[in-house]
Structure 1
Amino acid sequence: MKTELRGNPTPISLQNPSLFNTPPQNSVLSGALKGCLGSLDGACIEKLLLHCASALESNDVTLAQQVMWVLNNVASPVGDPNQRITSWFLRALISRVSRVCPTAMNLNGNSIPQRRLMSVTQIAGYVDLIPWHRFGFCASNSAILKATQGYNKIHIVDLSITHCMQWPTLIDALAKRPEGPPSVRLSVPSWRPPVPPLLNVSSEEVGLRLGNFAKFKDVPFEFNVIGDSLPPSPCITREPSCLQYDSLLNQLNPSTLNLREDEALVINCQNWLRYLPDEQNGSNSLDIPCRNVFLDTIKDLNPCIITIVDEDSDLGALNLTSRITTCFNYLWIPFDALETFLSKDNPQRTEYEADIGHKIENIIGFEGNQRIERSESGVKFSQRMRNNGFFSVPFSEETIGEVKFLLDEHSSGWGMKKEDDMLVLTWKGHNSVYATAWAPCGFEE
C-alpha cells in the first residue's frame, strides 16, 4: 500500500526548473534556511537535505517540496562540486517522492537515466581518471604476487565490476618472475551488478584480448566464464538481480570451477561485495543467500588468498536521514577530486559524475531489494570476515611502496594510510576506498 502524503503541492519537473517557483511558506524553515539561497557551503546543503529527509519520513510532502525549492536555488549541474552533487541529490529526492506518491511529483516519463556502453579503451580511461579503482588493483595485485610465490599454476576467480582491467598489470608482473611465469587461469562470472562501467563487448571478447596480451608476455593463459552469459542492459534495472546472484553462488563450487590441487586459488573481490544482499539491513526480503553465506561458500573453496576492495562507507542504514548524511559526506569526494583537474563542462567529468548520480538515486530513492548500494565500512567488513572464519593477511612494505608510487601520478589531494591491516585511500584526509587481504583460518597449502 502506498504511503499517503499530506498537502497539495504544485507538480515539480526536473525538465522544467521554473516550476520551482513557490518559496517556503513554513516560517521556521524559511527563517532557518534563508541564508542558504545561493550558498556553496556544504554544511548548509547537508542541513537542507536532512530537512527534506525528515519531511519525507514524516510523510509531509508540502514541507519536502518547500525544501526542494531552496535546494533548486543552490543546485547546478555545471557549478562547483557542492552545487553539482546537490543537483543529483535533488533529482534523487524528487524521484523518491514520485514513486511514493505519483500525484505529488512529476518526473518526465522518459526520465529513466540511460547508461552508456563503453569500449575497452574508454573503460581504461574511466579507471585511470582518479585512483578509485587503480588503488585497489595495485594493492591486490601486489598481495596476490606475494601469496602465489612458488606456485607454477594460479587460478583467479575474479568478482569485480571493472571488466578485467586489473589483470594486464598482474600478467606483466608474473611474466617477470625470476623463476619464469606461471600459467594463469582466470574465471569470471557472467552475472555482474547492473552498475557502471558497462562494456560494449562480451566477456569472451575481453578474455580473448587478455589471452593475446598474455601470449605476448609468454604467460600461459586460460579464460573461463562462469554461468550463462546475459546481455548487458544500457539502463538502470528496476528489478533486483537476486536470481542471477543465487545462480552464481550455486556455481562457486570445486566441480563447476574445475579446481585443481596443483593450483593456487585466488578469490578477488573488487567493489563487488556491497551488491550482495544482506539480511541485516532489509535487503533480503526475498529470502535469498546473504553475504555471510557467500563468505562461507568461498571459505569452503580453501583459497590461498582473498583480496577485498570496496568503498569505505556505511550506506546500508534503513533510516533515510542517516543515509543522506553519509552519502553526501562520502560522495562529495569524487566530485571534489574531479574539480582539481577537469573543467566544469568537460564531457568526461560530466559522464563520470552521472554514474555517481545514479548511485545517489539508488541510495536515496529506493528501498528493499531495489536498493543495491549497501556498502559497509572497512572496519565493519573486516569484523564480518573475522566472524566468518578468516584471518587478515597484512600488506608488505613493498606493497605500500607500490601504492604510494601509484598515487604520486595523481593530484596531491590523494593519500594512503594504514588502519590495522587495511590500506585506505584518502582524499584530503577523508577515507574513500579500503583494501584488505584474507585467508581462511586453517588454510592448507
Structure 2
Amino acid sequence: MQGTNINQQPQSTSHTSTSRSSDSAGEPNGPDGKWASKLLRECAGAISEKDSTKIHHLLWMLNELASPYGDCDQKLASYFLQALFCKATESGQRCFKTLTSVAEKSHSFDCARKLILKFQEVSPWTTFGHVASNGAILEALEGESKLHIIDISNTFCTQWPTLLEALATRNDETPHLKLTVVVTISVVRSVTMKEIAQRMKKFARLMGVPFEFNVISGLNRLEELTKEGLGVQEDEAVAVNCIGALRRVEVEERGAMIRMLQSLQPRVVTVVEEEADFSSTRNEFVKCFEECFRFYTLYFEMLEESFVPTSNEKLMLERECSRSIVRVLACDDHDQNGTSTGLGDCERRERGSQWSERLKEVFSPVGFSEDVVDDVKSLLKRYRAGWSLVLQPQAASGDHDSGIYLTWKEDPVIWASAWKP
C-alpha cells in the first residue's frame, strides 16, 4: 500500500467524524494526538457494529495514509489496516497462510540468525528472559552430573552458548548436558535444526562440555508433546525452559500442558512471556483490538528508538508482526463446529498474573536470587536508557505476581518466572 503525505487530508463524507481535525474534547485525534490510533479504533468499532458504509470509508482513509516505510503512525496504520481488512472481509485465514508461506520461502537460517543476534544487540527484549532463565536453571541444577534441559521455544538456541560457558567454568567437574529442543512444524524447518545442531555441538566441544543434542520435531501443535516422547531418564536432573512457548498452546489445553510438564518432575521450569492479554478478550473484538494495538504500539516505538532509521532488520521485525496481528484480530482458532482451523500455533498471549494463576495450580514459584537479579540489571546497563527491571509489581488484588518484569519506559513488556513442583 502506498502512503501519501499525512498532512494531505482526504475528503471526508458527512456520515462519519473521521476527519483529522480536533475531536469533541478539543484535542487532535483523541487524547494521544495520534491519527492512526483514532482511525484504527473507529474502524474496529465499525467492524464490531457491522457498519459497512463506515468500514469502507475508514479503510479507504487508512489506505491513503498508511505506509510500512513511514513513521511509527504510518507503520501501525499499515499493519493494522491489513488485519482490519481481513476481519471485515473474513479473509484472515487465507491471508495468514499466505504471509506464513512468503516468510518461510524468504527467510534462510542464516538470515534469521543474523536478525535475532542484531535484535539482541540493540534491545533486551529477548536477552532479558535468557539471562533470567539461565540463572535459575544453573542454580537449580548446581552440583548435578547429568543435566537434561528441555527447551520449548523458538529462539534458535541463541540462549544456550552463555549457559555452556557457565558450565565450562564451574569449579567442580563439568557435568554432561543433554539438550532436547522441541519444535513445531510452523516454527522452524528441519534443515534449520540440522545447522543449529552442528553449531551447538561445535561450541560445546570448544567449551569442553560433554554434550548431547536432540530434536523433537514433526509436531503440528505443542499439545501433541508427551512425557514418553521426551526420553527423560531417571538419573537426569531435568529443567524445562519455556520462552514464548505456552502462548502457542490452545487456551483450553494450557492446564493439561502444564500438568504434563509437572509429570516430568523437573527441578525447575522457567517461563517467559510477553506481557499482553489476547486471551480473555478473544470474543470481544474491540477490547481485543485495543489490547493488541496497545502492545504493538509499544513494540513498534521500541524498535523505532533501538534501530537506526534505515535498518533492514527493523523492517523485517516489523513485517514479522503483520502475521501476528492478522492472527490475533482476523483468525479464529476454531470454526463454528468447534473444529480447529489448522493454522498451527495460536497467538493468545496472557499476562504474567494470568500465567501465575495457571502455574500455581501445580507448581510453586521460585524467586530469582539476588545474583540472578544482579545479572539481569547488568545486562540492561548495556542498552539505551528506557529499560528497567521491576520485581513483582503489585496486582490489583493486592497479591504479588510471581516473577520479574522487563519494562520499556515504565510499561511492562516481558515477564520472566521460575517454578518448581
- How far, CA to CA, are the matches of 1:60 and 1:264 in structure 2? 58
**Shift in Å, 1:26:** 4.3
The question of 1:273 aligning with 2:243 is answered: no
Q: Distance in 1 between matches of 2:190 and 2:314?
A: 20
Residue among 85, 100, 104 paired with 1:94 = 85
Match for residue 180 of structure 1 among 170, 173, 176: 173
Q: How does 1:8-19 map to 2 (within 5 A)?
A: 14=1
Question: Residues 218, 294 of structure 1: CA spacing in aligned structure 2 closer, same or farther, 3 A cutoff?
Answer: same
Residues 153 and 182 in structure 2, CA contact (< 8 A), matched pair in contact too: no
For residue 29 of structure 1, the aligned residue among 17, 26, 48 is 17
Secondary structure of residue in 2 paired with 1:29:
coil
Partner of 2:210: 220
- Could you tell me how far apart the structure 2 residues matched to 1:202 and 1:427 are? 32
Aligned partners of 1:117 and 1:200 also within 8 Å: no
* Structure 2 CA distance for aligned equivalents of residues 59 and 210 of structure 1: 52
Matched letter for residue 90 of structure 1: L
Secondary structure in 2 aligned to 1:368?
coil
- Tell me how far 1:323 sits from its aligned partner: 1.3
For residue 328 of structure 2, what is the aligned residue in structure 1? 363
CA distance in 2, matches of 1:88, 1:113: 18
TM-score by length of 2: 0.84
Deviation digits for residues 356-404 of structure 1 (CA, Å, limit 9, x no counterpart): 2221121112122448210000011101111x21100000111111111
Contact 2:4 2:64 in 1 (8 A): no
The counterpart of 2:44, out of the listed 46, 53, 61, is 53
Work out the CA distance in 2 between the residues paired with 1:21 and 1:113: 36
- Provide the C-alpha distance between the structure 1 equivalents of 2:76 and 2:315, rounded to a whole number of angstroms: 11
Query: Separation in 2 of the partners of 1:341 and 1:391?
Result: 36
Where does residue 307 of structure 2 map in the other structure?
342
| Alignment counterpart, residue 257 of structure 2, candidates 283, 289, 294 | 294
Specify the SS of the correspondent of 1:114.
helix
- For the 8 Å contact 1:315–1:327, the answer to whether it is kept is yes
Change (3 A) 1:424 1:401: same
| Matching of residues 105-184 of structure 1 within 5 Å | 114-115=102-103, 116-119=107-110, 120-184=113-177
1:380 aligns with 2:354: yes
Indicate the RMSD between aligned Cα atoms, in angstroms. 3.1
| Contact 2:237–2:266 under 8 Å retained in 1 | yes
Letter in 1 for 2:58: V
Go from structure 1 to structure 2 and tell me whether the alpha carbon gap of 1:111 and 1:25 turns closer, same or farther (over 3 Å shift): farther
Shift of 1:322: 0.8
Contact 1:305 1:438 in 2 (8 A): yes
Letter in 2 for 1:402: D
Preserved CA contact (<8 Å) 1:26 1:63? no
Indicate if the aligned counterparts of 2:100 and 2:323 stay in contact, CA closer than 8 A: no
Give me the whole-angstrom Cα distance separating, in 1, the residues matched to 2:330 and 2:33: 21
Q: Distance in 2 between matches of 1:270 and 1:357?
A: 21
**AA aligned opposite 2:313:** Q
Aligned twin of 2:194: 204
Provide the residue aligned with 1:81 in structure 2.
72
Structure 2 counterpart of 1:353, which letter? E
Instruction: Give the conservation status (yes or no) of the 8 Å contact 2:222–2:248.
Output: no
Report the alpha carbon displacement of residue 300 of structure 1 after superposing the two structures with TM.
Answer: 1.0
Q: CA deviation at 1:150?
A: 1.2
Q: State the Cα distance separating 1:190 from its structure 2 match.
A: 3.9
Q: Post-superposition shift, 1:117? A: 2.9
Contact 2:92–2:331 (Cα < 8 Å) also in 1: no
Q: Give the Cα–Cα distance (whole angstroms) in 1 for the partners of residues 45 and 299 of structure 2.
A: 26
**How many Å apart are 1:122 and its aligned residue?**
4.1
- Amino acid aligned to 2:277: D
Which one-letter code corresponds to 1:222 in the other structure?
A: E
State the distance in 1 between where 2:147 and 2:416 align: 21
| 1:391 alignment partner in structure 2 | 364
Instruction: Quickly say closer, same or farther: Cα 1:42–1:335, change in 2 above 3 A.
Output: farther
> Cα deviation per residue 1:77-98 (whole Å; 9 max; x = unaligned)?
2332222212111121112223
- Aligned counterpart in structure 2 of residue 401 of structure 1, from 374, 383, 404: 374
**Gap change, CA 1:84 and 1:100, over 3 Å in 2:** closer
- Report percent identity of matched pairs: 31
Cα distance, 1:128 vs. partner? Answer: 3.3
| Residue equivalent to 1:262 | 235
Q: TM-score, normalised by structure 1?
A: 0.80
CA distance in 2 between counterparts of 1:101 and 1:358 reads 10
Question: Which of 258, 266, 271 is the matching residue for 1:303?
Answer: 266
Unaligned stretches of 5+ in structure 1?
1-13, 231-240, 280-289, 441-445
> Which residue in 2 is equivalent to 1:433?
414
Alpha-carbon distance between aligned partners in 2 of 1:293 and 1:190, rounded to the nearest angstrom: 18
Structure 1 residues 216 and 114: CA distance shift in structure 2, 3 A: same
Q: Which amino acid letter does the alignment assign opposite residue 378 of structure 2?
A: F
Amino acid at match of 1:359: S
Q: How far off its partner does 1:70 sit?
A: 3.2
CA contact (8 A) 1:342 1:349 kept: yes
Aligned-residue offset at 1:429: 0.5
Distance 1:42 1:92, change over 3 A: farther
State how far apart, in whole Å, the 1-side matches of 2:92 and 2:223 are.
32
Counterparts of 1:101 and 1:134, CA distance in 2: 32
Query: Is the aligned partner of 1:412 residue 2:385?
Result: yes
Kept in 2, the 8 Å contact 1:24–1:67? The answer is no
SS in structure 1 of the partner of residue 316 of structure 2: helix
Partners of 1:22 and 1:69 within 8 A in 2: no
Give the whole-Å Cα distance in 1 for the aligned partners of 2:18 and 2:202: 63
